[in-house]
Each structure stands twice: as C-alpha cells, then as structure tokens.
Structure 1
C-alpha cells in the first residue's frame, strides 16, 4: 500500500571479527609497526572547535556534542587504534548520494584518502597518531551528521520557508542516536545501521528515479504533435509515436497485429524508450489506434489522475509531452517530502493526499478502504498539516465563514437579509451550542459590517441544503479545516476536484462515520441515520482520537509498481524546487 510503512528489524550487533580487521587493513594498506598505548579521548572544547572550523559542520555542532558527551568523549570511529569498517561504508554511501537526489560534493568536505594515508604513516609515533585519530574521528562524525541531516531530515526546512506549506508534525529523528546505532553501540528498530531510508515509499521513488534517469540517458521519450487527437479505432501517423512513447516499440508491422502488451507495459518506467526508432513517413501506412495501445493510454491516464477514457488529446496529450527531466525533478522533490514525514505513522490514521484528491483509511498499518475527496480550489488551498480527530458531528449546522459573508453574500444580505436567509435555510444567532439565540438579520447593518463589528454567527440549519451535508469530522486546528459531507455528490465524478473553500469533502461520509464509531457501543449505521434524520446537531466523541494527515505528494509508486504523477495544483512543487535545486 502506497502510504504504509514496513520497518526493517535491527540485525544483532557483531564483534570486530578477523574479516572486519581485514577490511580495515584494505582501507589502510601497508600496515607498519604500531605504537601501543590507550585510545585517545576528546573533550567538548576540542569537538566544538573542530566542528566550527569546517563551515559545513557548523549546523551540526549540537549533534556532535550530544554524540561525544553520551560516550564520555571516547572516539567513535576507532577501536584499538583501528578504523571501524563503518567509516568506509559511510564514505561509499556518500559517493552514491546522487542516487538519492543529493549532491555528493556537499558531503566531501574532508580529504579522507589523505588523512588515512597520513595516519598510516605515523603509526610508530603515538603522539602524532593520536592527534590524527582525534582529527579524523570528529571529521567522520561531522561528515555523517552533515549527510544524515539531509538524508533523514531533508535539505530544506519547510517551516523556515514561507512559500512552502507544510505543518505536518515534525520528523524528530535523533541523529546522534542514529550514529550510535551505525557504530553498533545501541539497537534500533530503524535501519540506520544500513544507511537506509525510513520509509518504503521513499525507496520506491528512489528506484523510479534510477529508471527515469536511465530513460533520460537513452534520449528520453518522443513528443507527440500538439494537434494530436485520437479516438480508439482511428488511424493516424501519430499512433507510431504514441506507441513508442508508451510501449517503447517501433511502429507495428502493417501486415500483423501489434504484440500483446505485457503487464509491465506502462508509461516509461518499465520500458526503455527507443530514440533511434525511425519516424513514420508518407510511404508507411498510418497505424490504427488498436486495443493494445488504447489500454496503454488508459493505464497512463489512471497513473496521471485522469479519467481513463482512452482518448488522446487535451490533458492526456499535455501530460504525455511532459519532458522526462521534469518528471525526474518531480520524483526528487517528493523524495524530499518523505524526509519531512515522521519516522513512523501511528498504526491507525487517516491520510488525505491533496493532489490525488483521495482519503486513505489505515488500521493496524494496513489500508482498509479509501475514497474520493474534494479539496480547496487554488485560491482557497487546503493547508498541509496534521492533527487528531476528536469527534463526529451528525446533522451539523454550517457556520458561514466571515470571508464568504464579505465576498459572496454581503450585497443580498444588505438588500433583504430575512428573505435571502429564508431561501437558504439560514439564521443569525448570538452565542453557540445550546445557548445560541436567534437574532433578527434585518437589525444588522450588513453594508458597513467589518470583522471587528461582526459579533454573531450566520449558520445554515441541518438538512438537505446544508453545505456540510449530514456529517462533519472535527480535528480541532487553527486552520478551521475539517472533513465533511456535501450535497453536491456530482462533483466526485470529476477527475480534478478542487472546488471547496479549503475543507475536505468526502465521497462516502456515512461509511467513514460508521467506521470511526465502530468501537463506540450503540453507534451502528441505523443509529447514525436516525440521528441525521432528526435534524438536531449532535456531537459524538470518538472513543480514541485518530491522527489525521493532510499531505501533498505529486508522485508515488503504487502497489503494482507503477509510477504515478499528479499536477502541482497549488504550486508547492514549484516553491520547493526553488529552494531545493538552488
């Protein structure tokens, strides 16, 4: 399941074996006679001074202090004056940082080849050897924290950049503990010791990144003419290009049907593009848009958030012609977002992926169902954050936000408030809840109303006209955003569902309400429907608060291994790209 975690169990710690010693000797060739003596130790002054001396280590000073303080300032990367094999492993990982969408040069701040060679040359002099061991040890720790901060926490701090909307609870990984795990000094359920990512979804994107880069090296994929319009069964010179784009094959022979598409025949991820395929000429009969290619187009449409009708043109054509370089950047940006996600999700939670217009319901780390949602339009973007759902409201009132009163309702309220509100089944009240008392709407000066003078609540009564439908799901937050029903079910059939003022409308509210109240005695579907029919607002506390994540991922790999892309509906990818790539 796209969103779910599968945590790797920690391997048991091992002692320094003969094989490990051989690896160390391989890293430090030609071992001369060594001076004896105890392993040197550090102190806080040395650690701070050494870290601050390297500009790229300055931001990691606190991690270094915690790491060495916890080990009483013993060296971390040496055992009996021998470099531990994890040092070589880490440097190898850094050499491959580009596979993670990171720049290896950012982490190669020290010339370890020279340092290791210098260390080998002073083995007979304990004073010089000890001094170099201390220098190398802090340099290795600084290098690790510099790399691990980007790899595990992200190169961009989303809370430090105003244009990036991300208020999901923080990834609270403790990098000094992670380093202790790597050095086999503590155990952890997280795969730090393997220098591996925390989320399988990240690993899947990393593999997709490698595939797309391979496609790019082979010339990318062909571009279809801007005037292309194809329906199943039609013949067109563009069919050959479309076949090459999606199936990675040349034009099908005119005398033979196209080969059956394999399960892996999906857009560009599993089939290498063939840039050397000759373009169709006037002498070659136009190919027919056959069933095999229609299915490939439908798969592409599904993986790009479109309704799979098999028709090529419009949005489908636009997405087919997105350059592979743009898709590579999109994969990298979404890998970065996974670094911001907490180390693990709770066993039970709700997750809304805003660009995908979908809600995922997860129980015991497995998705039990999902449903379509409607999110905020671009001008009223649904915020990216997390919180905990506390209660379900049946037969809710809809309290009209002041912004809607001001921008959409003011003229008609000023003309004849009572008549206008009666048609909308609305009322003005003072106070809230059971203590709310009706106010004559004609007694309010709507024309000169300001936020400071607005002391009441304008609300729509429970019923079929209510904008919140029959149910709303509350997770109290400063954004005043929640999940709710809607009377406009017809909108869920749209592929792009950005229609709300910021809240999230769910396609199956009663199913979600029944699920959330499943462990509350007496609250089955019959009870829920009877309460709604009574048209009296009722708050029902959940037996256990449920974490809710409203996130923003425009690329992921699904259970079938297919790469999915979605449009950057709020421009968050664009804002992140400015920070990440610059």
Structure 2
C-alpha cells in the first residue's frame, strides 16, 4: 500500500484501525531515523520540531530537545554510531516525538483537575505512536507534526501573538517600570495633565502597537495622540476606554511581555483540550471576557453570528462552573425556582424580618406535594429549610430570570437567562450572579437557537416572552453550549488580555510546572 495513502488514512477518523492495516508495509521499511550509521534527514527534522516546541507554548525540555539535538549533531559529524548507540537514540527520538505529538494534540494536563468539567474533545482517535510511524514512513514528519495541533484559526493567531510578545522581552521600553502617577492619594493621569514619564509611556505603547509609529508626543503634557493610544490599550485589556490612566490601567501597563507570553501559553494549552467545534452550531461563553458568542461552523471555519455581553457568577463565592452540555429547552416567561442555597442564605432570613417581601417580589411557596401558598408562616419557612417546600418567583417584570431561560441540563443547575437588571451590562467587570449567566440580547440568542424553526419569528419569540404565562419549548436539534475560560484572545489581528477572574490561570500555570518537574528525562542530561 502507498505510504502517503496510509498516512492520510491515519489522520482520519479511523486512525487506529487503519494503522493495523497499514502497519505491515511500514514495518518492512523500518523507521527511517538513520541513513546507515548516521542520523538521517528525519532525525534532524525531529530535533528541529522538538526545539521549536516553545512556539506552541510547550516546553522543549519536556522532550529532552537540547540533549537530542546535541547527540544528532555530534553523530552527524563525528565517528559512526554503533548498534547500541543507534538503538538508544532511536528509542529516545520515538519517545520524545510521541510525547510531543500527544501534548500538542491534546494538552498536558487533565482539565478536570483544575476545575474544568470537560475532557479533551474526542475529535478522532489519536494514537501518537501510530501517527508518528505513519508520518515517518510517508516522509512528512514536519507537516504531520503541524497537523497534530488544533486546527483552529485562533490557535495560529495566538502562536503569532506569542512570538510577538517574546520578541518584546528585551526591548528598551520594558527595562524600567513606569513611575507613579501624579495626584497623591488618588493618583491618575487625565488628558491635559503634566507627567514626567510621557516619553517612556509613549515608547511602551508604541512597542505594543497601540501608538502608531512616527507620531510625536508633546514633551510635558498628556494629550493626543498618546490619549488615543491609551484608549486602544485599555480596550485590549478589558478596561473602560476613557483615556484616563488610573491605578488599574497603570497596573496593566506594568505587566511585562514575559508575563503576557506566559498568559498566551496558557491560552494555547486550553485550546488543546477545549471542545470548540462539536457541531455545526454552537454557543460559547468566555467567562473572563464577559462575552457570549453564537457561531456556525462553515467549511471548517468558525463564523460568529451573535456576540453579546454577559453577567457571570461572583468571583468571591458563586463562580460559574466550566463545562459543556447540550441546550435542549427554551422556557418563555419562566418561573424562577429559588435554589435551596439562596433560599437558606438570603430569602428565608429576609422573610423572617420582612414577610411583605414575598408579595412585593411576586414569590410563593410550593410544597413537595404541589400546594401553592402566598402567605408567610413559620411552618413554611421551616419546611423550606428542611427541603419539604421551595420558593419560586412568578413570571413577570420582577422575575430574576427576566422573560426567557435557555436550558442545558447539568448537575450544577446553570443556565442562560435574561434579567431585569440590564444596567449591569454597562459595567466593565460583570461578575454579579449566583452562578447562572445573564445575557444582554435574549431575543437575538433565541433567534439563533431557533434558526431551523422558521415558524418561530421575531414577533412570536417576543410575544412568548411577554405573555406572562410559563411555556417550555423542546428543541428538535440540541445546540452545544460551552462555558470556557480564556484570558487571551486575538480579534481582528489585535491581542486582547483579560483578568484571571477566578484564578484558573494560576492553577493551570502551577499544574504545568508540576507536570514538567515530574517528567523523566528522555535522553542525556537535563535539560
């Protein structure tokens, strides 16, 4: 069988089965690491791939890249290798490349160990050993190594951003921190004010690409074009783009390119195990960005159809969990069944102090037998605490869920919904909920979800939302929903950074460092 055909098959969905069929032909040719008693072209190609692992945000030392590179270079120009040395080097090359291919394809850590309730996506079976042998037999190791990485445009864009931020590390603009701002106890720099460090500020913003090259900056006062550059910087860092440099903006300006490079490396790692293309249509929530995107996959590319602001769980105590599930229902004019934790901690104590709160908030008690009561009593409050009754809020303008609820059944009882508190969408930081996710434009989201149900027109959706009578619609085609966590994105060629809201970047960073520390050295002395 033709080796290239074998490789093509192995890269497809039936990789493992087809490898068993193709394996005999490839075994007969051997693994071409060597040309006689010298390292062959593919051995040199392998060490080049391993040495470039950092371009994917991986650690070359995890694959003994330097030691293997030295050995291959020495064997190429020194005395011929004996059989034992060749066998040892061949085994090390095989193991290093298999480890690399597995890492670049699926990531290095188990996401569930760092509070991500999903597993690496099973896009297709992936056997790193079979994949490697097929690539070697076909003579296309370098191309196959690239193809093992996630085939997402954002992955390539982040690799470019990583290279750009690494190139900035030694730039003169970052050798000294920016000095304190004027203003005493409430320091800030507003347009028109004097600031002694305008020149280094301009140099830093120019290096980041926020200040176009060649634009002059007045020597003494903070004015245009520097104000516009600061606004561009603020926009890329999830800040209010007002051009005023306060404590938060200055702190972001002080973050070094090395720290940003590490942030991008963490984003690349997440992409390797985040299930972003599970179906032709999908909804993705990015918690640190406070943004929801609804997109379609067309010809293997993501086409965003809707994008909107969201409110997520409070970072302090009610964080929104990360997981992926299928949206199966829409509830119009929903009831809000108060979660037991909120009932115990907030509603019941409030009702003991102020029984009239129940009527003002259009709430009611529902016993386990289905009886509805709208009068507060000590017995009913005790029943709620004992789990024998619940509190719910009726549909209407005061309902905490607004007028629509998007349901994707999950163990955490998290869902998407509208809200009467629409003013929260104007905040820059939007972690205010008890865990569920509030969406800015519910009608547009409903139209996206119901796209394949043309009888659900804009008017019909709005009517169902405003009717005040709860109704549930089952979706004939479930829509995957992914609640993800990315503190770095590339949009329209610009790199955006967001705060590590829940501290999950710190957890991932620690897990990756621990992973590298526990790996056995594959060949030679570390690194």
TM-score (norm. length: structure 2): 0.81
**Alignment partner for residue 368 of structure 1, among 302, 305, 309?**
305
Give 1:344 deviation, angstroms: 4.3
Give 1:429 deviation, angstroms: 1.3
| 1:377 to 2:314 alignment | yes
**Residues 78-119 of structure 1: CA distance to partner in whole angstroms, max 9, x if unpaired?**
399767643332221112223333332221287553996799
Query: Structure 2: 5+ residue runs without aligned partners?
Result: 7-14, 183-187, 515-527
- Equivalent in the alignment of 2:4: 13
Give 1:197 deviation, angstroms: 2.5
- Equivalent in the alignment of 1:166: 116
**Is 2:158–2:490's contact at 8 Å kept on the other side of the alignment?**
yes
**Is 2:487–2:500's contact at 8 Å kept on the other side of the alignment?**
yes
**Alignment partner for residue 531 of structure 1, among 441, 456, 464?**
464
**Alignment partner for residue 445 of structure 1, among 347, 363, 379?**
379
Cα distance in 1 for residues equivalent to 2:144 and 2:483:
27
Cα distance in 2 for residues equivalent to 1:243 and 1:440:
63
Query: Structure 1: 5+ residue runs without aligned partners?
Result: 1-11, 16-62, 123-127, 249-263, 273-279
1:463 aligned counterpart, secondary structure: coil
Give 1:514 deviation, angstroms: 2.1
Mark the CA change 1:390 to 1:319 in structure 2 (over 3 Å): closer, same or farther.
same
2:192 aligned counterpart, secondary structure: coil
**Is 2:32–2:42's contact at 8 Å kept on the other side of the alignment?**
no
Cα distance in 1 for residues equivalent to 2:364 and 2:343:
13
Mark the CA change 1:187 to 1:96 in structure 2 (over 3 Å): closer, same or farther.
closer
Give the superposed CA RMSD.
3.6
**Is 2:181–2:195's contact at 8 Å kept on the other side of the alignment?**
no
**Is 2:104–2:148's contact at 8 Å kept on the other side of the alignment?**
no
Give 1:329 deviation, angstroms: 1.8
**Is 1:169–1:386's contact at 8 Å kept on the other side of the alignment?**
no
Mark the CA change 1:119 to 1:64 in structure 2 (over 3 Å): closer, same or farther.
farther
**Residues 538-560 of structure 1: CA distance to partner in whole angstroms, max 9, x if unpaired?**
1112231111111111012212x
Mark the CA change 1:177 to 1:422 in structure 2 (over 3 Å): closer, same or farther.
farther
- Equivalent in the alignment of 1:550: 483
Cα distance in 2 for residues equivalent to 1:530 and 1:450:
34
- Equivalent in the alignment of 1:98: 54
Cα distance in 1 for residues equivalent to 2:199 and 2:34:
66
Mark the CA change 1:576 to 1:80 in structure 2 (over 3 Å): closer, same or farther.
closer
**Alignment partner for residue 146 of structure 1, among 96, 99, 112?**
99
Cα distance in 2 for residues equivalent to 1:196 and 1:101:
14
Give 1:137 deviation, angstroms: 4.6
**Is 2:359–2:374's contact at 8 Å kept on the other side of the alignment?**
no
- Equivalent in the alignment of 1:473: 406
Cα distance in 1 for residues equivalent to 2:474 and 2:411:
20
Cα distance in 1 for residues equivalent to 2:326 and 2:163:
37
Cα distance in 2 for residues equivalent to 1:569 and 1:116:
50
Cα distance in 2 for residues equivalent to 1:336 and 1:354:
17
Cα distance in 1 for residues equivalent to 2:147 and 2:85:
26
Q: Between 525-534 and 570-579, report the one with greater CA deviation.
A: 525-534
- Equivalent in the alignment of 2:196: 237
Paired residues, what number? 480
**Is 1:391–1:540's contact at 8 Å kept on the other side of the alignment?**
yes
Mark the CA change 1:240 to 1:412 in structure 2 (over 3 Å): closer, same or farther.
same
- Structure possessing the higher relative contact order (Cα contacts under 8 Å, 6 or more residues apart): 2
Cα distance in 1 for residues equivalent to 2:234 and 2:50:
37
- Equivalent in the alignment of 1:581: 513
**Is 2:329–2:474's contact at 8 Å kept on the other side of the alignment?**
yes
1:158-557 map, 5 Å: 158-159=111-112, 161=113, 164-172=114-122, 174=126, 175-183=128-136, 192-194=144-146, 197-198=149-150, 199-219=152-172, 221=174, 222-228=176-182, 229-248=188-207, 265-266=209-210, 286-342=219-275, 344-364=277-297, 365-378=302-315, 379-415=317-353, 417=355, 419-430=356-367, 436-439=370-373, 442-443=376-377, 445=379, 453-557=386-490
**Is 2:400–2:420's contact at 8 Å kept on the other side of the alignment?**
yes
Mark the CA change 1:363 to 1:184 in structure 2 (over 3 Å): closer, same or farther.
farther
